[in-house]
Structure 1
Amino acid sequence: MPLNVGDNGYGSVAGPGLSSSGAASSSETAALLVPELQFGEQDQGDEYTWRPMSKEELEETAGGPGWRRLRCYLVVLFWLVWLAMLAAAVAVILTSPRPVETPLAWWQESLFFQLQPDLFIGTPPGSSEAVEALCDQLPYLKSLGISALVLRGLWDPLNDTGEHPATLPYVRHLFNESNKAGFKVVLDVCEEQKAEKSEEDAQYTLRFWLSQGVAGFLICDTDAAFTQKNLVQWRRILEEFSKEDEERIVVVKQTREALPSLRVSSQELNVTLVDVVLKSVLPQRPRLPSDRQVGEAIEAHLQTPEEDTWLGWMVGCKAPSDLKRLLLVLLMTLPGTPVVQYDQLEPAQGGNSSESSDITHTFKSRHSITALLKSLSHNRAREEALLFGTFTFLPFNKSSNASEDSSPPILAFLRSWGCVHFLVLLNVGPEARPLDPGWAPALPEAGVFVVSSAMDRMGAVALDTLVLQPREAVVVKLFEPGSYS
């Protein structure tokens, strides 16, 4: 049967755009697929039909001189930008101020602990209870971060008969145990030297103790031996026993307003006669100082410009029990060498009635104080800013620190090392004090608690919301928003 039986017959197919009549409309002659229009050609609907370019066409188009020149320009521009960024980074690193770490001597890194003065004075001849008790406490003192001991009562190695006292073997045992535990021993000879003692006897005493392993001597500026002539002789003897890693030192305890020149320059000798000048934070008073007197004494030391000699700090007198923690934080954060006295680790007397409650309170108080000392010593050992960073006193203005005349102001200072800043705040007064938000606008607004005198603060803190409790000291590590340094 034929496929085409007429105009309207079965199987008739009309081609696109063609009529159903005529020879061109027959199915045998109509195209089954419409060929694609070439690129740029236009059909009746004014629409373009796109197709992918072949490999040959791509290579022909990309190989033109315009595209080659553009690619060369882009490659050269990329390397020029990369080299410029590298040069800028190197320039920033080289020109930015960097703190230079100064090598510190052993006494500049150490925490000194001054033992009770009657440890050897008044000890019965041949008795070893005090020495053995101290030897047993050496590991405990080491765990607190203490690395140097100050002993008193051992200046004269000979008794009235010209023989060594019976306690000398125990003292040598103490020195041996201290050296094994990594402690340095400094003899406190303040007010123990007699003016009538001959120069030969003084030199013999120095050489004797240095041969026993003593690391240095502490002398007062009021002693008869505190003269330039004697100190020059002391320095020469100490240099005989000093080694590269075991330098022997002289510490002078300053009690007067000013000290004479402690440096000698000549053709034969050009040294500093005293290695450490030890100062008292609180002045010597027969009575316990008031809060305002404590605040004024601390502020006077904070405002004193830096000195050429290395400073050491101690409380200096019996401190009020509720200020012991604050003074301990102050000693451990001031630039210099802290000297902790034996009575600073004694807890405050509680008001409990029962004996068992007193024992519990004493134990908790002692544990809290030693925990504070341990935290401070460990932070000082690992933070460059607290060890040898710069010191900046931050005074409060009157509006931010206004209060009654009897209440001391808030004291603050900054220890900085590079971009790391530690803020130390001291509230000596008996009232809680908030910080004025506009007190120090140049400081970062936030930080994290490092330690507090009550050991009850931790975590992040905003300075504008910080409230200092009565007789509280806090150490805050400042950081910029978004920084995790």
Structure 2
Amino acid sequence: MNTEETNVELQEAQTKDAAAPKDAEDPVQVAADADATEADVSEADLDQEEQEKQPMTGGGDRAEDAPSADGEAVVSGEKNGSVKLKIPEEVEEVKFMGLNKEELLRVAGTPGWVRTRWALLVVFWLGWLGMLFGAVLIILQAPRCRDLPPTNWWNNGPLYQIGNIQAFTDTHNLKGLEQKMDSLSQLKVKGLVIGPIHVAPPDEAVNLRFEEISPEAGNLEQFKGLIQVAHRKGISVVLDLTPNYQGSSGPWFANISVRNVAERLKSALVFWLNEGVDGVQLSGVERVATIVPSLWSDIRAIVQNDTDERPNKRVLMGVTERSSAQEVSSLLSSSGVDLLISRVLCFKDMEATERARSVQLLYSSHSQTKLAWSLRGRAEGHLASLVGPPQVKLHHLLLFTLPGTPVFNYGDEIGLMDEGTKFPQMLWDSYEKLNDTLQEDRAERLSFRSFFRDLSELRGKERSLLFGDFVLLSNSSSSMAYLRVWDQSERYLAAFNWAEETEVLQLSGATLPRQATVVLSTNGSALPADSAVDLTNLRLGPGQATLLRFPYNG
């Protein structure tokens, strides 16, 4: 049945239904007719869709009705859009359950596996014993490290003397000194030597009051605050208790008063040590040690004996005007002080040969933990006034690299000049606008300070400089060179030229390499840092010094 015939029949059926009276309609028959009609429509629609899905030929017939070459109709075996799928048969997975206990024991007991296990066991133990033997051999053949020498806090960095509180600070008292702790900490200072600041009218032993601070310097509360701040910064505080520091009859007055003053000093030492000071400095130690040796022994015992309440050792520093290395060595042995500041290096016109001889004598006679190096005492002025500004850096390098503790006056780190007084006002640089001359002066001070700080920091972390051996390499009337070495640490070589003309040092030996590296130099343009120099042809300009380094070579 085609579509047109179906539509005609539907129209006729609808016409008959409309003509029939509504009340005569059979409900069952009506439902059946409706179902038949819908079925016919659906069949017609499906026939039309099937025609649209069939491939078309040139004549419009379906592909399966197209005639073949011999005139017979060919019917296609497959309909358009159908796909044949071949589903593989499922293969049952075979799981390996392993060997059971009996099977494992049977396999493990075969001769092949037994021999394999023994071979692996022998290889393991031979390898382990070989590694153990190799480790022992390396330990035995390795060079032994030297034990670090015993040192004290005053051996770990420079000591900084402030002989006049009013000249050092802006506020002219101990509170102002407390406010400068950050600046001193940047210089890696390990100890302050303060004063004297006690009440001591000139040449009046009767009115001497060790336990009372002079009003010009401050008061006891300020001193306690200073100690607390200094200790937090890792800086120890030493108090100068020289009795007659403002008089002209000697630091201990006349002979008749030495015993009385020494007795009073003993009680004062107990007082100040209980207040937290880390040591005491006394001038003229040879006088009291000779006149009243028993009292001097008591003084030493009070300061140097450690206690459970204060495990950190306290230093007893002595000051002498002796300049002969032999005399200084003798006094260092007889007095029993921990450090002795002398005038061994204070000769203005001293030749380098004499300097080298003095250093060598003291180094060979005493532990370097007892050696202190300074060019000027507390009341003898400043470094720049003694050697001149051009050689300030040279002497910074000298004091920091000699075996022992470097001791400086306040202001030596910036080249402070005396200017007609032994206690000039300390210069604290600000950022205010200055004229050209003042700007040049400030730039020079900052350069001195930077060089001082670099040396101080280097000495504090390099073992060869901190407590290494001292080896004199070369010396003449105007030049000197020495080596600082410690075990397997880097070696440091310091070379100096005090002459007004260029000096060429020819340094060679079994312990020296051909070249070394510049660490610091007083003339950075001539010997820039990190540059390599030939030790057999080391040229130093007038007043120039340099610090070189080279590695340990075994």
1:282–1:294 CA contact under 8 A, matched in 2: no
Matches of 1:86 and 1:381, distance apart in 2: 34
Q: CA deviation at 1:90?
A: 2.0
Matches of 2:310 and 2:396, distance apart in 1: 32
Matches of 1:72 and 1:212, distance apart in 2: 71
**Cα deviation 1:97-121 (Å, max 9, x = unaligned):** 3211123211121320112x34359
Matches of 2:316 and 2:200, distance apart in 1: 19
The letter for the 2-side match of 1:108 is N
1:453: which partner in 2?
522
1:312: which partner in 2?
372
2:227–2:277 CA contact under 8 A, matched in 1: no
The letter for the 2-side match of 1:475 is L
Q: CA deviation at 1:203?
A: 1.9
Q: CA deviation at 1:128?
A: 5.6
- Of 390, 405, 409, the match for 2:469: 390
Count of paired positions = 386
**1:469 and 2:551 equivalent?**
no
Matches of 1:142 and 1:75, distance apart in 2: 58
1:416: which partner in 2?
486
2:140: which partner in 1?
91
- Of 277, 292, 299, the match for 2:340: 277
Give the TM-score normalised by structure 2: 0.60
1:348–1:365 CA contact under 8 A, matched in 2: no
Q: CA deviation at 1:468?
A: 1.9
Matches of 1:114 and 1:192, distance apart in 2: 18
Q: CA deviation at 1:478?
A: 0.6
Structure 2 vs 1, CA of residues 120 and 157 (structure 1 numbering), >3 Å: closer, same or farther? farther
Q: CA deviation at 1:371?
A: 0.6
1:207–1:237 CA contact under 8 A, matched in 2: yes
1:237: which partner in 2?
302
The letter for the 1-side match of 2:188 is G
Structure 2 vs 1, CA of residues 111 and 480 (structure 1 numbering), >3 Å: closer, same or farther? closer
1:435–1:463 CA contact under 8 A, matched in 2: no
Structure 2 vs 1, CA of residues 359 and 169 (structure 1 numbering), >3 Å: closer, same or farther? closer
Q: CA deviation at 1:222?
A: 5.9
Q: CA deviation at 1:261?
A: 6.4
Q: CA deviation at 1:467?
A: 2.5
Say which SS state the counterpart of residue 139 (structure 2) adopts.
helix
Structure 2 vs 1, CA of residues 415 and 130 (structure 1 numbering), >3 Å: closer, same or farther? farther
Asked which structure has the greater CA Rg, the reply is 2
Matches of 2:276 and 2:460, distance apart in 1: 25
Matches of 2:305 and 2:543, distance apart in 1: 47
1:439: which partner in 2?
508
2:238: which partner in 1?
186
1:390–1:417 CA contact under 8 A, matched in 2: no
Structure 2 vs 1, CA of residues 79 and 415 (structure 1 numbering), >3 Å: closer, same or farther? closer
- Of 424, 429, 435, the match for 1:356: 435
Give the TM-score normalised by structure 1: 0.68
1:10: which partner in 2?
none
- Of 165, 180, 187, the match for 1:119: 165
Q: CA deviation at 1:74?
A: 9.1
Structure 2 vs 1, CA of residues 155 and 84 (structure 1 numbering), >3 Å: closer, same or farther? same
Matches of 1:171 and 1:223, distance apart in 2: 30
1:193–1:223 CA contact under 8 A, matched in 2: no
Say which SS state the counterpart of residue 219 (structure 2) adopts.
helix
2:165–2:177 CA contact under 8 A, matched in 1: no
The letter for the 1-side match of 2:371 is L
RMSD over equivalenced CA pairs, Å: 3.9
**1:170 and 2:219 equivalent?**
yes
- Of 184, 189, 210, the match for 1:146: 189
Greater helix fraction, Structure 1 or Structure 2: 2
Q: CA deviation at 1:76?
A: 9.0
Identity of aligned residues (%): 20
Matches of 1:171 and 1:296, distance apart in 2: 48
Structure 2 vs 1, CA of residues 112 and 237 (structure 1 numbering), >3 Å: closer, same or farther? same
2:175–2:218 CA contact under 8 A, matched in 1: no
Matches of 1:204 and 1:410, distance apart in 2: 47
1:269: which partner in 2?
none
**Cα deviation 1:416-444 (Å, max 9, x = unaligned):** 332421111112222223332x6335302
The 10-residue stretch of structure 1 (372-381 or 234-243) with the greater mean CA deviation from structure 2? 234-243
Q: Which runs of 5+ in 2 are unaligned?
A: 1-111, 113-117, 381-385, 418-433
1:280–1:314 CA contact under 8 A, matched in 2: yes
1:207-286 → structure 2 map (5 Å cutoff) = 207-221=270-284, 224-227=287-290, 228-239=293-304, 242=307, 243-256=309-322, 257=324, 258-259=327-328, 260=330, 273-284=336-347
1:13-52 → structure 2 map (5 Å cutoff) = none
Say which SS state the counterpart of residue 417 (structure 1) adopts.
coil
Say which SS state the counterpart of residue 129 (structure 1) adopts.
coil
1:371: which partner in 2?
450
Matches of 2:146 and 2:168, distance apart in 1: 50
Say which SS state the counterpart of residue 306 (structure 1) adopts.
helix
2:16: which partner in 1?
none
2:517–2:531 CA contact under 8 A, matched in 1: yes
